Amino acid sequence: MSGSIQDTFFEECEELLEATDEGLTAIEGGDHDPEVVNAIFRAVHSIKGGAGAFGLDDLVAFAHRFETVFDEVRSNRLDLDPKLIQLLLRSSDHLSALVEVARDGGEVDEAHHDTLLAALDEYIPEEEEDLTFEPMGLGGPAAAPEVIVPQEETYRIRFHPLKEMYGTGNEPFFLFQALKDMGELTVTLDENELPGFDSMDVSDSYLAWDLVLVTKEPRSIVEAVFEFVEGLCELSIDGDGDAEAEANALAALDAMFSAPPVEAALPDPAPDTAADSASAPFEPPAPAPEPEAKPAAAEDKASAPKAESGKQEQRSGPKPTLRVELERVDRLINAVGELIINHSMLAQQIANLNVSDTRDVETELEGFKNLARDIQEGVMAIRAQPVKPLFQRMARIVREASAATEKTCKLVNEGENTEVDKTVIERLSDPLTHILRNAVDHGIEKPEDREAAGKSRIGEIRLSASHRSGSVCIEIKDDGAGVNRPRVKQIAIEKGLIPENAELTDAEIDNLLFAPGFSTAKEVSNLSGRGVGMDVVKNAVTGLGGRINISSTPGKGSTFTIILPLTLAVMDGMVVSVADQTMVVPITSIVETMRGSDDMINSLGADGTLLSIRGNFVPICDVAGGLGLYRESDQQAGVYLLVETETGQRCALAVDDIHDQRQVVIKSLDGVCGEIPGVAAATILGDGKIAMILDPESIIAASPTAAAFDTERRMSNAS
C-alpha cells in the first residue's frame, strides 16, 4: 500500500520538477512574471510536503532551503540576477537528483549538496528561516497576501459533524490541527447530544465541538479548513473582525479563486461531494497541514482514487486528463491490432466464398476497415506524448556537462510539442544524453577558443524535434568545432578499425564515430568517457527502428540527425516470399525493387554475384541463404530489393517474389525466442499466419558476398 502511495508521490514529483524546470527556463530567458515564480514556489513546496510525509529528510531540508530563497524572490526581497538564476537552476537539478536517489536509491553527492545548501543559505535572511513553514494557503499572486496587515482576531466556531462526514473518511482531529497551526486554539467538546449507552447508534454522530481560535489569518483561511466537509457538518464561524477585515478576506478569497491551488494533498471529498469539487476545480485549498499530518492525508488520498483524477485535472490546466495504467493502453493496442488482422482475414474469407455479388459486403467491409483504422489511430494517439519533458531533462544534462568541462553552453529546444510514442521517448533518453554530453565535451570549444574563432563565448546546442513524412526527426546541432577528422582517422587506424592507407570520404570518417570501440577523448574524462561509445547510441536508435546520421563542418559544428518511426506498433512493409516462407521487408529500407534477368547478373569470383543496375554494380545478397533456409521448390530468387545501409552501401536483396505492400502490426519476438540474426520482429498476416519481419541491415552484415564486397571496396579505395 505505502509503496503505491510512494509511487504516486514520485510520479507527481516528476511533474512538479518538470514544472520547476520549465519555470526556471522561462526565468532564465528573461521572463520575470511573478506568476512563474509562484508556480515554481508551489511546485517545490509540494515536493517538500510530500517528501515530509515519507520521511525523506534530505529532500525536505533541501527543498525547504530552495523554497525559502524563492519566497524571498517572490516577495521582491531578492533580485533575480544571473548568478542567482544559475544557482537556482543548479539547485533544481540537485532537487531532481535527490528525488532520484530517494526513489531508486544510490548516493547523494554530499559535497555538491553542501555547497548548494551553503550557497542558498547566503540568500536567506536569518530571521526568515522558519517563515515558509507557515500555511501556504495564500499562495496566490504575491500581491494579495502582502496587502493584508496581519491582525489578531478571535473566531468562535461551532462544529457539529453529521454522520456522513465520518463516512467520507474525514477526521475532525486534522481539521483542528490545521486550525491550531494558525494560532491559539481552544477546543471544547459538546457531548450533550450523546444518548445513553443503550440507545446509541454506533454509526451516528453525536459529538459537537466549540472552538475558539485566535489567529492572524483572515477569515477565508479559517473557513477554508472546513472546505472539504462543507455540507457534511453544521458549522458556524463567528469572527469579531470589522468590516474592513471582511473585505480584505474577500479580496484574498477572490485572489485564490483566480490562482491555481497550492496544496492538493488534502483529504479529498468522498464520492458524494466529489461532483461539487469537480465543478469548481479551482477551489481555494485549505491551509497546508504540517508535515506530520500528511501521512493521514496521503492515506485518505489512496483510499479515494477520485482524488487522484481530480487533482490531475487541476494541475494540467484547462484540458482535463486521465491517468491510465500503461498496461491497459497496451492491451487496447493489441486488441486493435487483432481487429485489423481480423479484418483482413474476413476480407480474404469473403473473397474465397465465390459469391457472385459481394458489393454490399465489400462496402460494409470497407467501413469496418476505416473504423478499425480510426480506432487504431486514436489508440496510438493515447501513447503519443510530447517530447517536452524529455527535452527539459536534456537542459539539465547540458548544464551539468558545461559545469564539469568549464564551458558555457545553452540548449535551445525546438518543436517541444512534437508527439512521439511513449516507449520511443523513454528509450531516447540515454542516446540523447550521450550525444549531448559528447557535444559539450568534444563539440563546443572552450570560451577563449570560441572568442578567438570569432564566435560567441556561449556555445549553442540546438535540440529540435519535428515530424517528417511518417517519421520523427530529432536533430542535435552544435556550433562547436565540428568533427576533428584527421584525429578521428588517426584513432581509427590506431584501433585497427581501418587499414592505415585507407582513403575515406569525409562522411565516412564522420561515421567512424559510430564504430564499435571508438572513443576520441584524449584522456578519459569523467563526462562522456564512461566506457560507452557512440556505437551504443547507434544501437539504441536502430533498436527503435530508426537511423542516425552525422554531418559536420569543421569550425562550424556538427549535426546529429535521428530519424525514428512514428510508432513502434505498426509499419509499412513489403510482403515477399523467400524459400516458400512469407516475409515482410520494411518499406523504409527499400530504395527500389526490380525483377532481374540473367544478363543483369555478373559473377565476381567463385561465389560473389553482382547485379548491374543502370551501369552500377551492387552485390547480391540471397535472403534465403542469409537466413539459413533452403528452397524446396525449384523457384529461384528472381526479384531484387535494392536497399541502402547506414553507411550508404547498397545491396540487392534477392527474394523469390513480391506480393503486396501493406501496413503490418509488429509483434515482438522478445520472450518468444532469442535474437535471430536477420529478423527484426514478426507480424500476423491476413491468413492468420505469422510472417517474419526482416532486418535488411543484419542480413547484409551476415551475407558473405556483401560483406566481402564492402571490404574489397574499402581496400580498393585504399590503394
**CB-CB neighbours of 260 under 10 Å:** 18
Q: Which residues pair with 612 in a beta bridge?
A: 617
Q: Is 399 helix (H, G, I), strand (E, B) or coil?
A: helix
Q: Which is nearer to other proteins, 537 or 651 (CB)?
A: 651
Q: Is 222 helix (H, G, I), strand (E, B) or coil?
A: helix
Residues 627-656 that bind other proteins (CB under 8 A): 627-629
Residues 79-138 that bind other proteins (CB under 8 A): none
* Grid coordinates of 658: 513480391
DSSP 664: E
The 3-state DSSP composition of the chain as helix, strand, coil percent (nearest 5) reads 50, 20, 30
Residue 571 found at the interface with other proteins (CB under 8 A): no
Q: Which is nearer to other proteins, 360 or 670 (CB)?
A: 670
Q: Which is nearer to other proteins, 543 or 628 (CB)?
A: 628
> In whole angstroms, how far apart are CA 91 and each of 20, 96, 422, 440?
11, 9, 28, 21
Q: Which is nearer to other proteins, 127 or 675 (CB)?
A: 675
CA atoms within 13 A on the CB side of 594: 16
CA separation for the pair 137, 259 (Å, rounded): 11
CA separation for the pair 185, 653 (Å, rounded): 84
Q: Which is nearer to other proteins, 1 or 673 (CB)?
A: 673
Which member of 162, 375, 676, 707 binds other proteins (CB under 8 A)? 676
Q: Which is nearer to other proteins, 63 or 664 (CB)?
A: 664
Quote the least distance from Cβ 670 to other proteins, whole Å: 8
Quote the least distance from Cβ 47 to other proteins, whole Å: 37
Q: Which of these segments, 174-182, 273-281, 290-298, 688-696, binds other proteins (CB under 8 A)?
A: 688-696
* Grid coordinates of 256: 485564490
CA separation for the pair 619, 627 (Å, rounded): 17
CA separation for the pair 38, 32 (Å, rounded): 11
Dihedral of CA 367/371/376/377: which sign?
A: positive
Q: Which is nearer to other proteins, 150 or 688 (CB)?
A: 688
Which member of 118, 690, 715, 718 binds other proteins (CB under 8 A)? 690
CA separation for the pair 73, 193 (Å, rounded): 52
Q: Which is nearer to other proteins, 539 or 581 (CB)?
A: 581
Q: Which is nearer to other proteins, 265 or 341 (CB)?
A: 341
Q: Which of these segments, 143-151, 285-293, 294-302, 625-633, binds other proteins (CB under 8 A)?
A: 625-633
Q: Which is nearer to other proteins, 496 or 671 (CB)?
A: 671
Q: Which of these segments, 79-87, 122-130, 208-216, 667-675, binds other proteins (CB under 8 A)?
A: 667-675
Quote the least distance from Cβ 380 to other proteins, whole Å: 17
Residue 669 found at the interface with other proteins (CB under 8 A): yes
Which member of 354, 675, 716, 719 binds other proteins (CB under 8 A)? 675
For residue 301, give the nearest of 511, 79, 53, 583 by alpha carbon.
53
Contact indicator for 289, 174 with CB cutoff of 8 Å: yes
Q: Which is nearer to other proteins, 73 or 583 (CB)?
A: 583
Quote the least distance from Cβ 621 to other proteins, whole Å: 14
Residue 221 found at the interface with other proteins (CB under 8 A): no
Label residues 158-175 b or e (16+ Cβ within 10 Å = b). ebbbeebbeebbbbbebb
Quote the least distance from Cβ 677 to other proteins, whole Å: 6
- Radius of gyration of the chain, Cα coordinates, nearest whole angstrom: 33
Q: Are strands 608-613 and 419-421 parallel, antiparallel or unpaired?
A: unpaired
| Number of residues this chain uses to bind other proteins (CB under 8 A) | 27
Quote the least distance from Cβ 421 to other proteins, whole Å: 20
CA separation for the pair 683, 664 (Å, rounded): 6
CA separation for the pair 418, 465 (Å, rounded): 6
Which member of 672, 704, 715, 718 binds other proteins (CB under 8 A)? 672
Phi then psi for residue 340, to 5 deg, are: -70, -40
Which member of 177, 581, 588, 661 binds other proteins (CB under 8 A)? 581
Contact indicator for 349, 313 with CB cutoff of 8 Å: no
Phi then psi for residue 489, to 5 deg, are: -65, -40
Residues 155-194 that bind other proteins (CB under 8 A): none
Q: Are strands 639-644 and 590-595 parallel, antiparallel or unpaired?
A: antiparallel
Quote the least distance from Cβ 689 to other proteins, whole Å: 6
CA separation for the pair 141, 118 (Å, rounded): 29
* Grid coordinates of 532: 560507452
Quote the least distance from Cβ 632 to other proteins, whole Å: 11
Quote the least distance from Cβ 676 to other proteins, whole Å: 6
Residue 280 found at the interface with other proteins (CB under 8 A): no
Q: Which is nearer to other proteins, 351 or 690 (CB)?
A: 690
Q: Which of these segments, 124-132, 258-266, 356-364, 685-693, binds other proteins (CB under 8 A)?
A: 685-693
Quote the least distance from Cβ 686 to other proteins, whole Å: 12
Residue 696 found at the interface with other proteins (CB under 8 A): no
Residue 707 found at the interface with other proteins (CB under 8 A): no
Q: Which of these segments, 127-135, 190-198, 557-565, 673-681, binds other proteins (CB under 8 A)?
A: 673-681
Q: Which long-range contacts (CB under 8 A, 24 or more apart) does 117-122 make?
A: 117/61, 117/62, 117/65, 119/87, 120/65, 120/66, 120/68, 120/69, 120/87, 120/91, 121/65
Q: Which of these segments, 18-26, 448-456, 556-564, 687-695, binds other proteins (CB under 8 A)?
A: 687-695
- In 512-652, which ranges are continuous DSSP H helix? 534-543, 623-626
Q: Of all helices (H) and strands (E), which one includes residue 586?
A: strand 581-586
Residues 453-482 that bind other proteins (CB under 8 A): none
Residues 305-364 that bind other proteins (CB under 8 A): 334, 337-338, 341
Quote the least distance from Cβ 539 to other proteins, whole Å: 18
Q: Which residues pair with 357 in a beta bridge?
A: none
Q: Of all helices (H) and strands (E), which one includes residue 93?
A: helix 82-104
Residue 693 found at the interface with other proteins (CB under 8 A): no
Quote the least distance from Cβ 388 to other proteins, whole Å: 34
CA separation for the pair 333, 569 (Å, rounded): 8
Which member of 1, 149, 202, 673 binds other proteins (CB under 8 A)? 673
Quote the least distance from Cβ 333 to other proteins, whole Å: 11
> In whole angstroms, how far apart are CA 109 and each of 98, 114, 160, 186?
9, 9, 52, 46
* Residues of this chain that bind other proteins (CB under 8 A): 334, 337-338, 341, 581, 627-629, 667, 669-679, 682, 684, 688-692
